Amino acid sequence: MKPTMLSTVAAIALAGAAAAEDVRVYNWSDYIDEELLTKFEEETGINLIYDVFDSNEVLETKMLAGSSGYDVVVPTGTFLQRQIAAGVFQPLDTSQLPNLENMWDVIEERTATYDPDNAYSINYMWGTTGLGVNTGKVTEILGEDAPIGSLSLIFDPANMEKLAACGVHFLDAPTEMIPAALTYAGLPSDSKDQDDLAKAEEVIMAVRPYIQKFHSSEYINALANGDICVAFGWSGDILQARDRAAEAENGVDIAYTAPTEGALMWFDQMAIPADAPNPEGAHAFLNFIMDAQNMAQASNYVYYANGNAASKEFLLEDVIGDTAIYPDEAALENLYTVTPWGARDQRNLTRTWTKIKSGT
Amino acid sequence: MRRAVLIAVPYFWLLALFLIPFAVVFKISLSDIALAIPPYTPTAKDGIWTMLSQLDFENFVFLTQDDLYWKAYVSSLQIALISTVLTLLVGYPMAYAMARAPEQWRPTLLMLVILPFWTSFLIRVYAWVGILSGEGFLNQFLLWIGIIDAPLTILNTNIAVYIGIVYTYLPFMILPIYSALDRLDGSLIEAAEDLGCSRIRAFWLVTIPLSRNGIIAGCFLVFIPALGEFVIPSLLGGSGTLMIGKVLFEEFFSNRDWPVASAVAVILLLILIIPIVLFQRNEQKQVEDGS
């Protein structure tokens, strides 16, 4: 009995010691190869606690409430900018991040819009928002010359009326959908103007009866199973749907296109909260992620491009060679970015979105 | 002295668990939104007097200017009322059957009612997604027995919300009614029948009035949480399902507007408190009249 007691006490003591070396990471769901998490624990001896979220809003509310207990969080650029202003994050200690040299200057230049000098964050993944299409069914319904890569596929009522029976999903994210509707209406995609917002609302309301659902993650499976024909969603998610369909060999062909009228480009950034319990551990995690091979492993798994130049040589051909993931020069020209919404604009935006979704 | 201590304990709980949190929410509802941690101003850090002088009712005025909030309150009240009635209609016969069941079965039946609580509420609501969806069990079954030709759209409608609420809150309806019926003196019904009442009339004239307290307690236990329900409408309801719980979530998470979210919550509480107070008054009056 006694030895057991002792070992129990020892185990508790050890657990207590390990608790001091926990690092808590809060990342998007389905956004990493989980082998990397075990690898991090093995290499550093730090105990990794990995939680996931599925919306920037949830993350932001936790951050603004303070004392979230997380050491690393992954907001999107626009949200990051606002959170930096609110004093949520601590500046990175570059001396603890030797792998910073792996980062890609082209992406760093763009993320500097949100985080000047990239003082608070590193890029994890980036991608575009666009059209996921079940090519077989859509060409069957709309004919061979269906506008598969154009926003008119989802915003032209004539097309949507025909696609409705087959199913169309929109992201339940006004910060993604409104810029797309503005682009389609020929207005500046980053406009926060009330009148422009009203026009974007008109664009979506015209096709509202034909939209089956607003949801930000269900479309992956729905596309892959052939339950829906079109989804407006995030590039990597749609590519995951394409691969799931291919693996299932169910005859469903999914294609992702960034809309020809212009596509939103976004950046998910890893940052360290100002009140992180273990900032050293957080830096260790960031440095681990910035390792060229680790970053490549993550991209190869989730089908999103990353901001790590050194990782490119380790990327699979169907990741680096796919212009839907790594756009070529011409396609890059076609991508736009947006800025954060202020409190009043955000209220207008959410109100418009509620009106679009519920009709009230 | 001992009496004072005994009374102090429940009042202390009331203060700690109800009044203080409410005061915090009420204070936030009088504040303004800010880009900071926490995301409102002023806070106690600015000094108590500065804080108090900056509070105003602006957010409550705002709620009256947009009919979204009004409509959401009305729609929540409607959904909560209808679900409460439905739960009563389903729950009463079950409680009645349990109370009339042979003595040795009752503990088992009671156990079966409580059993669902052993699984997470969230998982049980998710299970309904699988049952009600287009390719779900219910549609598969109905198609198989040939009642319908095409799958019914139930998921993402208000009907699914009613099903979810009735299912989830059924035990809260059954348990108080069961305990009222269990205590019911069977000789009263026999007496009614001896005096020429039919069984149905005896049920209406004796059983229902004597289980009234159980019915009222069950209805409150269902109505109050259903009014502010968030999980069920967001998982089972469609984008057209307007409920105040969802509006509150949007204010809190999408708009990051804690002050307006708090104002919505304060009004929700007032809506709930008024009928409860009226009910308590009525009860007290009846007790006094009876004695």
What pairing do the DSSP bridges indicate for beta strands A213-214 and B40-41? unpaired
Which residues of chain A approach chain B closer than 8 Å at the C-beta? 55, 57-58, 60-61, 63-66, 82, 85-88, 174, 213-214, 343, 346-347, 350-351, 353-354, 357-360
Distance (Å, whole) CA A148 – CA A135: 8
Q: How many other CB atoms sit within 10 Å of the CB of residue B82? A: 16
The pLDDT of residue B160 is: 94
Distance (Å, whole) CA A81 – CA A84: 5
Instruction: Let me know: does A339 contact A82? Beta carbons within 8 Å.
Output: no
Helix, strand, coil shares, percent, chain B, to 5? 80, 0, 20
Of A86, A213, A354, nearest to B35 by CB-CB distance is A86
Q: Which residues pair with A53 in a beta bridge?
A: A28
What pLDDT, in 10s, does the model give residues A254-291? 999 999 999 999 999 999 999 999 999 999 999 999 99
CA A70 and chain centroid, separation: 19
Identify the residue whose tokens are 């974007």.
A200
Identify the residue whose tokens are 């070529």.
A328
Of B38, B239, B247, nearest to A65 by CB-CB distance is B38
Of A143, A141, A116, A155, nearest to A228 by C-alpha is: A141
Token pair recorded at residue B116: 């669902």
Size of interface A-B (CB pairs under 8 A): 64
Of B38, B156, B239, nearest to A64 by CB-CB distance is B38
User: Is B241 in CB contact (< 8 Å) with chain A?
Assistant: yes
The pLDDT of residue B290 is: 63
Phi then psi dihedrals of residue B18, to 5 deg: -125, -55
Q: Which residues pair with A131 in a beta bridge?
A: A232, A257
CA B70 and chain centroid, separation: 19
CATH 1.10.3720.10 applies to domain B66-256: yes
Q: Give the DSSP H/E element, type plus range, for residue B254.
A: none
Q: Give the DSSP H/E element, type plus range, for residue A121.
A: strand A121-134
DSSP annotation of A271 reads: E
The pLDDT of residue A223 is: 94
Instruction: Let me know: does A139 contact A149? Beta carbons within 8 Å.
Output: no
B176 cis-preceded (ω within 30 degrees of 0): no
Of A55, A63, A350, nearest to B255 by CB-CB distance is A350
Nearest CA in chain B to A356: B239
The pLDDT of residue A285 is: 97
What pLDDT, in 10s, does the model give residues B104-135? 999 999 999 999 989 999 999 999 999 998 88
Distance (Å, whole) CA A358 – CA A218: 19
Q: Is A17's pLDDT higher than 70?
A: no
Confidence label for A30 from pLDDT (cuts 50, 70 and 90)? confident
B37 contacts in chain A (CB < 8 Å): 63-66, 86-88
The pLDDT of residue A218 is: 85
* Burial degree of B120 (CB within 10 A; 0-12, 13-18, 19+): exposed
Token pair recorded at residue A130: 């666009």
Q: Given an 8 Å threshold on Cβ–Cβ distance, is A358 in contact with B241?
A: yes
- Please tell me the pTM assigned to this model: 0.80
Q: Is A14's pLDDT higher than 60?
A: no
According to CATH, the topology of domain A21-126+265-326 is D-Maltodextrin-Binding Protein; domain 2 (3.40.190)
Token pair recorded at residue B112: 């079966």
Distance (Å, whole) CA B50 – CA B33: 16
Query: What are the structural domain ranges in chain B?
Result: 66-256
Q: Given an 8 Å threshold on Cβ–Cβ distance, is B254 in contact with A346?
A: yes
Nearest CA in chain B to A87: B36
Q: How many other CB atoms sit within 10 Å of the CB of residue B213? A: 14
What pLDDT, in 10s, does the model give residues B7-56? 888 899 989 998 999 999 999 999 988 888 888 888 877 778 888 888 88
Q: Is A3's pLDDT higher than 80?
A: no
Residue B185: HSE in the Cβ half-sphere, 13 Å Cα cutoff: 4
Confidence label for A164 from pLDDT (cuts 50, 70 and 90)? very high
Confidence label for A333 from pLDDT (cuts 50, 70 and 90)? confident
Side chain identity at residue A236, one-letter code: G
Q: Given an 8 Å threshold on Cβ–Cβ distance, is B71 in contact with A360?
A: yes
Token pair recorded at residue A175: 């910060």
3-state SS, A2-48, equals: HHHHHHHHHHHHHHHHHHHCEEEEEEECCCCCCHHHHHHHHHHCCEE
The pLDDT of residue B291 is: 52
Distance (Å, whole) CA A275 – CA A66: 8
Nearest CA in chain A to B33: A343
**A347 min Cα distance to partner chain B (Å):** 6
Interface probe with A: pick from B37, B135, B236, most Cβ of A within 10 Å? B37
The pLDDT of residue A55 is: 85
Token pair recorded at residue B253: 């998470």
CA distances from B291 to A6, B175, B180, B205, B212 (A): 65, 28, 21, 22, 18
Instruction: Let me know: does A306 contact A125? Beta carbons within 8 Å.
Output: yes
B13 CB contacts (<8 Å, ≥6 apart)? none
Instruction: Let me know: does B259 contact B43? Beta carbons within 8 Å.
Output: no
What pLDDT, in 10s, does the model give residues A68-108? 999 999 999 999 999 999 999 999 999 999 999 999 998 99
The pLDDT of residue A7 is: 46
Residue % of chain A over a pLDDT of 70: 94
Token pair recorded at residue A66: 């303070």
**A64 min Cα distance to partner chain B (Å):** 5
Touching A: B residues 41-60, CB under 8 Å = none
User: Is B66 in CB contact (< 8 Å) with chain A?
Assistant: yes
Nearest CA in chain B to A67: B37
**B199 min Cα distance to partner chain A (Å):** 49
Confidence label for B272 from pLDDT (cuts 50, 70 and 90)? confident
Q: What residue ranges of chain A are covered by domains with CATH 3.40.190.10? A: 21-126+265-326, 128-263+338-358
Instruction: Let me know: does B31 contact B41? Beta carbons within 8 Å.
Output: yes
Helices marked H in B133-257: 137-145, 158-182, 186-194, 199-202, 208-210, 212-227, 231-236, 244-249
Interface probe with A: pick from B63, B254, B255, B264, most Cβ of A within 10 Å? B254
According to CATH, the topology of domain A128-263+338-358 is D-Maltodextrin-Binding Protein; domain 2 (3.40.190)
Nearest CA in chain A to B75: A360
Side chain identity at residue B128, one-letter code: W
Of A216, A221, A218, nearest to A252 by C-alpha is: A221
CA distances from B213 to B38, B86, B218 (A): 44, 18, 8
**B18 min Cα distance to partner chain A (Å):** 21
Instruction: Let me know: does B173 contact B91? Beta carbons within 8 Å.
Output: yes
What pLDDT, in 10s, does the model give residues A105-161? 989 999 999 999 999 999 999 999 999 999 999 999 999 999 999 999 999 999 999
**B156 min Cα distance to partner chain A (Å):** 9
Q: Given an 8 Å threshold on Cβ–Cβ distance, is A61 in contact with B256?
A: yes
Distance (Å, whole) CA B128 – CA B238: 14
What pLDDT, in 10s, does the model give residues B139-168? 999 999 988 888 888 888 899 999 999 999
